[in-house]
Amino acid sequence: MAVSLSGCWRRDAAHGGGKERGIRAVARRRRGLCGSAGFTLLELLVALCLSVITLSAVYVVYLSQQKTSLVQEAVAATQQNLRTAMYFLERDIRMAGCNPSGSAPAGIITASSSSLRFTMDVRGGEGDGLDNDHDGRVDEPDEFYDGDCLDADEDVAYSLGDSDGNGVSDLLRNGVPVAQNIEVMDLVYLRDDGGIAVLPEQIRYVEVSLVARTGQIDRDFTDTTNYVNQSGTVILAAPGDHFRRRSLSVRIKCRNTGS
């Protein structure tokens, strides 16, 4: 009997054990199903870390590109200042001493390595009612001169000065700024044969060398360049600061002066 009961218990136990295994299997399958539909905490943390790393990399690239763009804009503005300064200087110096009538006191008045003043007769005859070129017709379009250097823009002086008070010199034309942040203007005067002119009336060429700099510093850059003129003379020794600079040097021929 005992053996029989024991056998039933084992059968029941065996039967019940099968149910339990079935329940556990179902639970495992459910857990499996739940696992495939969601994320574990570890997976979320890994995804979060990857997102932070990716966003950080994107932000660094963005900052780098923004800085590069700002530097390029500053350098472009500096180059534009340089071109503007040279445009004015070339335009006016070519006309220095212009004296079609032969009676105007036109010529180079003062010439130093950092400033220049000259006169020319290029205005006044257009509407003065006179036949300035003595060809029988009064006030023609090409009758621009009148034998004096007293009209507007006939007495021109170039120098450097800090017109806006930002600590950097600007190119001044008759005291009026025409180009900002021109740090150096170096002027060399030559005779017609290329030798150094020692008198204003000898000046046939003016070698103009300009150095312009950016308005803001670039902390990742240090300027170690020695800036020289066409003769090789240093006009600005390596500043060692964080401003970017551009230079330009041109030999300008004075059509109306020199020997």
* Interatomic CA distance for residues 179 and 173, integer angstroms: 9
Cβ atoms 221, 75 nearer than 8 A = no
Determine the 3-state secondary structure of 235 from DSSP. strand
Which of 65/174 has CB closer to Ca ion? Answer: 174
CB of 65 to Ca ion, least distance (A): 30
Which of 78/202 has CB closer to Ca ion? Answer: 78
CB of 164 to Ca ion, least distance (A): 5
CB of 180 to Ca ion, least distance (A): 6
Which of 166/231 has CB closer to Ca ion? Answer: 166
Which of 93/190 has CB closer to Ca ion? Answer: 93
CB of 103 to Ca ion, least distance (A): 10
Q: Which of 220, 94, 115, 221 is nearest to 158 (CA)?
A: 115
Contact residues for Ca ion, defined by CB under 5 A: 121, 123-125, 128, 130-133, 135, 137, 139, 143, 146, 148, 151, 162, 164, 166, 168, 170
CB of 155 to Ca ion, least distance (A): 10
Which of 19/134 has CB closer to Ca ion? Answer: 134
- Those residues with Cβ within 8 angstroms of residue 241's Cβ, 6 or more apart along the chain or in another chain: 217, 222, 223
Q: Which of 180, 190, 178, 179 is nearest to 229 (CA)?
A: 190
* Interatomic CA distance for residues 139 and 130, integer angstroms: 7
Q: Which amino acid is at 184?
A: V
Locus of tokens 């003129």: 229
* Interatomic CA distance for residues 246 and 145, integer angstroms: 38
